[in-house]
Structure 1
Amino acid sequence: MTNSKAGSDTDSDPEATTSTDWANAIGDGGLVVVSNRQPYSHTYDGDDIAVEVHAGGLTAGLDPVMQAVGGTWIAWGDGDADREVVDENDCVPAPPDDPGYTLRRVWLDDDEVDDYYYGFSNQVLWPICHSALTNVTEWERYWEQYQSVNERFVDAVADHADPGDIVWFQDYHFALAPAIARERLDDDTVLMQFWHIPWPAWDTFRGCPHGEAIVEGVLGNDLLVFHVPRYRENFLHCVERVLDDATVDHETGTVRYDGGTTQVTEFPMGVEVDKIARRARSEEADEFWADFTEKYRVADTVALGVDRLDYSKGIPERLRALEQFWERNPEWRGKLTYVEKGSETRSRIDSYQQVQDQIEAGVERVNDRFGTDDWTPVLSFDEYISPTALASLYSHSDLALVSPIRDGMNLVAQEYVAAQVDDDGVLILSDQAGAGSILDAALLVTPQNTGAFTDAIERALTMRGAERRARMQRLREQVSENDLATWTGLNLRAAMALRDGDGSATEPGLPTGGQP
C-alpha cells in the first residue's frame, strides 16, 4: 500500500496540533465524529491501493483528537478502492500507517450523491445560508434523499455510540440527524454539532424549503455551535419565528423545545498557526517561490487570492476592484501581479459553473486590457500545490484579498496571517466573513463596493512599513489566540461540561466564546 496526499492545501501533525491528553480529558466516554467527507480515502494506483489524506481544517483539528481518544469517525466512503479495505462492518483502522481510531464508511449510490449532496445540501441549504436565494433549486427527490441519508448516518452512529459518548455532527449535511439520533440513543449520550457555514437572518431563512424540519433537526443537539455571535443570534431568532412552542433565552443561549434543551453558543474556528509559520520559514518554501517566480515572471509586488471557485467567494467583485485599481493607477501596471490560486468545486451545479465561467472571462478581460509582452496582471491557476508551497505563496505575498460575499469564517485569511513571519503583509478582508469579527486590524471592505475596495488596495500598497507591521502583529496575536487547538478544546470542554454536570444549558457559566 502506498501513501499520497491529495485534495487539500493543509496537512496534519498530531503532536503539533494539540498537546492535550484528550483520552484522559474525555474520560470514560468515547467520541464519535460524523462528517460528510472522510479524513482518509483509498484509491487505485495501478495495481496498488493508495491512501489519500483529505487534510483540511476539520481533519487537522479532529484527527489527532481521534487518535488520542480511539473513537469512531463516520463519513461517506467516496474512494474507488474504499470497499476493498473495510471489514464486514464497513470499518477500517485510521490513520492507515499508525491506527488510532476506527473509520466507519457509509456508502452512497450515484442518486444519493446527486440528490443529498449536490441537491439539497448544496442547492438548498448552502445558498440559503449564504443569502443567495436566487440560487436555490429544490426538487422533491432532493428532500427525500436528504432525509434518507441522514437516517443512514444515524444508523451508523447507533452501531458505535455508547451511553456517555459524545457524538459530534459536522456541518449542514446533517441538519436532521441530531433529532433522529436523539430518539434512538441513550439520554446520557451528548449530541453536539458545529455549523461551519453562516446561519442567515430570519428574512432569508424563511425562504428555506422544509425550514421547520431543519430547525427541529438541529435542536436535537444538546450543544449547537456557530463561528460568531451573529450566526448564533440569527439562529435563535429563527427558532422564535418557526416554532411557537419553543422557549428561547438569548442571554444564556438556550432553547427549550419538545422536552429537550439545546445550548447554543459560538467558538471561532482557527488554523494551525505554528505549523503554517514553520512551513513558511522552510527551505522547501524558498525553493518553491524561486521556481514559481522563474516560471511565471511575477512582478515585484504580489497580491494573492486563495479560493474555492464558488459564487460565495466574491471573486468577480475582486477582479472588478483590481481592474479599477490599474485603471486609476497606471503607474502600478507592470509592478503588481495578482495571483489567484483557485480550486474548482461542484461544477456540475449550474450556478457554480456559471461563476467559474464568469471568473475566467474576468481574468481574460483584465489581462487583455492591461497585459503586456512582459507582464500578466492576473495569474490564475488551479492545480494542486503542497501545504508548504501554499505557505510560501502566503508569506511572499504583499497583500491578500479575501473578499467573500458571505462566509462562515474563512480560514484563508487566518492562514495568510499565520504565514506572515516577517509581519510585512496586509490583509484586505470582507466584512461579510466571520473572520471580519475577529481580525480587527485587517482592512475591511464590502466586496460589492468597487470604489471602496479599490481604495483599500491603494491604501494597502502605499501603507508605511510601521503601520503594516503593527497591523500584522496584532492580527498574528488574534489568530494565535484562536488557533485550531483552542477551537477543538472549547467545543469538547463544553460538551463534557454538559455530560458531566459541570455546566448546564441553564447556567450562564457554560463558555460562549473565548477561553473557558
Structure 2
Amino acid sequence: MLALVVLLALTLLAIPPSRLLMEQWANADVLSRSRLIFGSVQGPVRRALADGDDERLASILAGVAEDDRVLAVGLCDAGGTMRGATSMMPPDFSCDSAARSEAESFSHIVQDGRHVFVATFPVSTPAGNAYLAVLNDLSYIAERTWQIQIYVVATLLGFGLVIGGAGAVLIFYLLKRWAESLRQAVENARRGKRLPAGRDMSGIERQIALLFKEIEATRGRSETAEVKWSPQSLHDLLATTLPDAEIIIVSNREPYIHNRRNGAIELQTPASGLVSALEPVMRACGGTWIAHGSGSADRDMVDAQDRLAVPPSDPAYRLRRVWVSEEEQNGYYYGLANEGLWPLCHIAFVRPAFREEDWRFYRTINQRFADAVAAEATTPDPIVLVQDYHFALAPRMIRKLLPEATIITFWHIPWPNAETFGICPWKEEILDGLLGSSIIGFHTQFHCNNFFDTVDRFIESRIDRETAAVTLAGHETLIRPYPISIEWPPAALKGQLPVEACRRAVRERFGLAPSACIAVGIERFDYTKGILDRMHSIDVLLTLHPEWRGRFTFIQVAAPTRSKLASYSRLQDEALALADEINARHGQDGHQPIRLVVRHHEPPEVFELFRAADLCIVSSLHDGMNLVAKEFVAARDDEQGVLILSTFAGASRELTEALIVNPYDARSMAEALNAALLMPADEQQERMHLMRQQVREQNVYRWAGRMLLDAARIRQRRRVLALAGSAL
C-alpha cells in the first residue's frame, strides 16, 4: 500500500514537468516553422507588392495557408491596412494588433477559445515596411501534451508494477523463509529437539524454547489428574508460570476490619463470600489487596501510605486501604451498586433504582481505585484481579493507566439476560468498562452466555463464541466460567472440637434437648437469600408433620448488612415478626422452633454451628454461587448432615448430592426438610462423601489457579507475538 501511494505521488509530480516540456518544445517548433514560411515567401511577396499584383499576392498567401497547422496568413501594408488575407483570418484581427518593430516579433492570442501563435515579419518595400502575419493554430499541442502525459503515466505505472511485483515476490520469499524458520523453531522447542552440531540457537529460537518450557510446565501442573490444589501448589504454579508476577486485588470489602469498641480496637473478619474465597489465595500468593477502609479504627492502623501487613498474626501480603466519604459511600455503594446493579442482576423481584448522582459517585470511586492500582503497581504489567459489580468501570480505567497489565475481572453475582440488563441507563459504559479486562470470569457458563447476548445487543464488537472472546476496538477479552469455592482444608476447621462436642455445646447454648434435631442457616440479612421463604417452609413442615414440634429447631444466624437501605431494614423487621408468629403457632412448653440470631459470627463460631447441625438450609432466590453451602460440606468431616440447596444457587450445579429445592414452593421445601430429618446415616454419608470430594478437588486454589493459568497463557502469547514482531 505504501509503495502504491509513493508511485502515485511520483506520477502526479511528473505530470507538470512533462506538460511544461511539451509546451516549450511546441513553441520552439512553431517559431521555427514560421521563420521557414517567411523565408520561403518573402521574395515573392516583395515582388508582388512592387508590381501591385494583388491577385498573385493572394495566391502566395493562400498557398502558405494550406499547411494544416497554419490558421491564417495576412499582409499589412505600411499604412496599417490589411492588404490581403486568407479566408480563415479572424475578422477581429487588426493590423494594429500586429507587432510593430524593425525585426520579427511573436505573441499569443486566444481566438474563439483557441490558442493562436502570431508571428510577424517585416517586409521592406519602396513605400516602407509591410508586415507578414502568420497565425499558427496551437490546438494540436494540447492533444499531443495529453498523449505525452498518458505515455509518462503509463511508463511510470508499468515501471512501478514491475518493481512492486519483484518486491512482492522477494518479500513473499523472505516471509516464507521466516515463517518456516519460526515454525521449525517452535517445532524444535515443542519436541525438545536438539540442533545440529555446530549450529547455535538464534535469539528467537532460544526465547521460544523458554516459552515452551513455561507452557509445558503450566500444562503439566494444570492437566495432571493427581494434582492437589493447595496454597503450596498455587505458590509453585506462580513461581513456574508467572515468575516475578505482581498480584493486585481490587475489592470493595476488605479482608480485615478494625473497629473501635468500648475504647479498644477490635479486629473483625467480615461475613463475605468474596473475602472467604480470596483471602486464602492472597495468603498463598502474596501481593497487594486494595479495598475500602470502612472500619471506625482503620485509619489508626495504617502507615503513612495507608498500608498495613496482614494477617496480623502472620503477615503474608499487604492491605492498601482507600478512603471513601459517607456521601460517596451513599452514592457509590448503597446507591448505584446495591440499589441499582444488585437487584438488576438478581431475580428477586426488587425494582432497581438508578440515579444520576449515584452514577457520578460510582465513576469517581472506580477512578480512585484505578489510580490506587497504578500507584501500588511496581511493574508495568501486574496481574490485577478486579472483584465484583462495585468496579465495573475500573478495568478500562486501569487499562488506560497500565496498558500492559493483565486484568482479570470476576463478577461474583449472576449476570442477567440482555433484556433485563437493558434497564440500566448506563449499560454501554458498564460493558465498555468490563471489556477493558483481559479476562472476565463468571460462576457458570449460563452467566457467560447471558453476557455474550448482552454485549451482542448493546455494543458494536466482534464476538467469537467458539473461542469465548469479545474483541472491542482491537482488544480481545476472554469470557470464562470459573466456579468459585473455598479453601481446603478450611482454616476455621482447625481447632474445632469433635462433632459430638460441638453438638453438646450448641444445644447447651440454646437450651435444647440432647436429642433435638437442628437445622441451621448462615446468611447476611439480604432479600436474595430467601430467609423468609425458608421460615415459611418450616411453618409448613410443622403444620404437615406436627410430630416434629418440640423436636426440631431452626437456628438462623443473620449478620446485619446495608441497614441504610429500606429493603434491607424492612427484611430484618419482617423476619423478626415472622419468627415470632411461627414460634407462637408451633411453640410448646417454652420451646421455640425458630431461633433468629441477628449478629455477626466469626468463622470458628459458624463452623461449630455447621458441625452441630443435622441439616443446613441454603434457599437463595438467586445466587451466583453461595459459599455457605460449600462451607457446610467442608465442616462435616464426620460425613454426616444433609444440605438442602436452592436450585437457583450456582452451587447446585456442583453439589448435586444435596436435596435441590425450589425456594418459592414452601410445601416442596417442607417435604425436603422432612426427608432430610428422616434420612438414614448411611445415605447421609454417601451424599456427603461425594460433596466433600467435589469441594476438596474444586477448591479456591484451583479457582484461582485456573484464572492465573489463563493469565499466564495470555502473557506468553503476547511475548510470542512480540518476538515474532521483532523478528520481522
Q: Taking structure 1 as reference, are residues 193 and 455 closer, same or farther at Cα in structure 2, changes over 3 Å only?
A: same
Moved more, 459-468 or 287-296: 287-296
Q: Secondary structure at the match of 2:682?
A: helix
The structure with the largest alpha-carbon Rg is 2
1:318-341 CA-partner distances (Å, limit 9, x unpaired): 111111111111111111111111
Shift of residue 132, structure 1, vs aligned partner: 3.9
Superposed CA offset, 1:95-126 (max 9, x none):
34444433222111110011101111100011
- Which secondary structure does the structure 1 equivalent of 2:359 belong to? helix
Pairing 1:42-53 to 2, within 5 Å after superposition: 42-44=258-260, 49-53=265-269
SS in 2 for 1:137: coil
Asked whether the 8 Å contact 1:215–1:239 carries over to 2, the reply is: yes
Following superposition of structure 1 onto structure 2, how do residues 27-176 of structure 1 map, counting pairs within 5 Å? 27-44=243-260, 49-54=265-270, 56-67=272-283, 69-132=285-348, 134-161=350-377, 162-176=379-393
Give matches, 1:52-451, under 5 Å: 52-54=268-270, 56-67=272-283, 69-132=285-348, 134-161=350-377, 162-186=379-403, 188-243=404-459, 245-275=460-490, 278-279=493-494, 282-283=496-497, 289-298=503-512, 300-451=516-667
> How far is 1:133 from its partner?
5.3
Distance 1:477-1:333 versus aligned 2 partners, 3 A rule: same
SS of structure 1 residue aligned to 2:399: helix
Residue 695 of structure 2 is aligned with which of 471, 476, 479?
479
**Alpha-carbon deviations, 1:19-63, whole Å to 9, x = none?**
432552431221111111222333445666554444854445444
Q: Which residue of 2 aligns with 1:20?
A: 234
1:428–1:442 Cα contact (<8 Å) kept: yes
Name the CA distance, whole Å, in 2 between partners of 1:503 and 1:365.
Answer: 65
Q: Which moved more, 1:100-109 or 1:194-203?
A: 100-109
Deviates more, 1:86-95 or 1:420-429: 86-95
When normalised by structure 2's length, the TM-score is 0.63
Change (3 A) 1:298 1:248: farther
Q: Taking structure 1 as reference, are residues 240 and 84 closer, same or farther at Cα in structure 2, changes over 3 Å only?
A: same
Quickly say closer, same or farther: Cα 1:389–1:82, change in 2 above 3 A: closer
Q: Distance in 2 between matches of 1:452 and 1:55?
A: 30
1:340 partner amino acid: Q
CA-CA distance at 1:400 after TM superposition? 1.2
Distance verdict in 2 for CA 1:332–1:132, change over 3 Å: closer
Residues 138 and 209 of structure 1 are in contact (CA less than 8 Å); yes or no, is this contact kept in structure 2? Answer: yes
Secondary structure at the counterpart of residue 489 of structure 2: helix
The alignment's TM-score, normalised by the length of structure 1, stands at 0.88
Q: Which moved more, 1:129-138 or 1:449-458?
A: 129-138
3-state DSSP of counterpart to 1:102: strand
CA contact (8 A) 1:18 1:64 kept: no
Q: CA deviation at 1:307?
A: 1.1
Q: Kindly tell me: are residues 248 and 60 of structure 1, through their superposed partners in 2, closer, same or farther at Cα, counting changes over 3 Å?
A: same
Deviation digits for residues 145-166 of structure 1 (CA, Å, limit 9, x no counterpart): 0011001111111112222210
Change (3 A) 1:169 1:277: closer
Distance 1:47 1:472, change over 3 A: closer
- How many angstroms does 1:310 deviate by? 0.6
Question: Alpha-carbon deviations, 1:189-227, whole Å to 9, x = none?
Answer: 101111111111122212223112111111110001111
Gaps of 5+ in 2: 1-228, 721-728
Which amino acid letter does the alignment assign opposite residue 175 of structure 1? A
- Aligned partner of 2:365: which letter? V
Provide the rounded CA distance (Å) in 2 between the counterparts of 1:100 and 1:424.
35
Equivalents in 2 of 1:294, 1:449: separation in Å? Answer: 33
Question: Given the superposition, is the C-alpha separation of residues 284 and 452 from structure 1 closer, same or farther in structure 2, using an over 3 Å criterion?
Answer: closer
Summarize deviations over 1:70-97 as a string: whole Å, max 9, x none.
Answer: 4222111222333334344333333344
Secondary structure, counterpart of 2:328 in structure 1: helix
Distance (Å, rounded) in 2 between the aligned partners of 1:396 and 1:83: 38
Aligned in 2, Cα 1:374/1:50: closer, same or farther, shift over 3 Å?
closer
Q: In 2, distance between residues paired with 1:348 and 1:493? A: 40
- Larger displacement relative to structure 2 (426-435 or 78-87): 78-87
Aligned to 1:513: none
Give the stretch that moved more between structures: 194-203 or 493-502: 493-502
Shift of 1:228: 1.2
CA 1:345–1:439 in 2, change beyond 3 Å: closer, same or farther?
same
Is 2:681 the partner of 1:465?
yes
What amino acid sits opposite 2:373 in the alignment?
V
Alpha carbons 2:492, 2:604 under 8 Å: kept: no
Structure with the higher fraction of residues in helix conformation: 2
Cα distance between partner residues in 1 of 2:568 and 2:368: 28
Q: 1:368 to 1:52 in 2, by over 3 A?
A: closer
Count matched residues. 488
Higher relative contact order (CA 8 A, sep 6+): 1
User: 2:271–2:559: 8 Å Cα contact kept in structure 1?
Assistant: no
Residues 463-482 of structure 1: per-residue CA shift (max 9 Å, x gap): 23332222121111111121
Identity over aligned residues, as a percent?
Answer: 39
Distance in 1 between residues matched to 2:232 and 2:276, nearest whole Å? 10
Amino acid of the residue matched to residue 294 of structure 1?
E
Instruction: State how far apart, in whole Å, the 1-side matches of 2:252 and 2:269 are.
Output: 15
- 8 A contact 1:194–1:225 mirrored in 2: yes
> Counterpart amino acid of 2:542?
W
For the Cα contact (< 8 Å) 1:171–1:194, is it kept in 2?
yes
**Other structure's SS at 1:183 match:** helix
Secondary structure of residue in 1 paired with 2:254 = coil
Closer, same or farther: CA 173–375 of 1 in aligned 2, 3 Å: same
In the alignment, the residues of structure 1 paired with residue 605 and residue 259 of structure 2 have an alpha-carbon distance, to the nearest angstrom, of: 24
- Contact 2:265/2:297, CA 8 A, preserved across alignment: yes
User: Conserved in 2, the CA contact under 8 Å of 1:285 and 1:388?
Assistant: no
Q: What does residue 11 of structure 1 align with?
A: none
Shift of residue 380 of structure 1?
Answer: 1.2
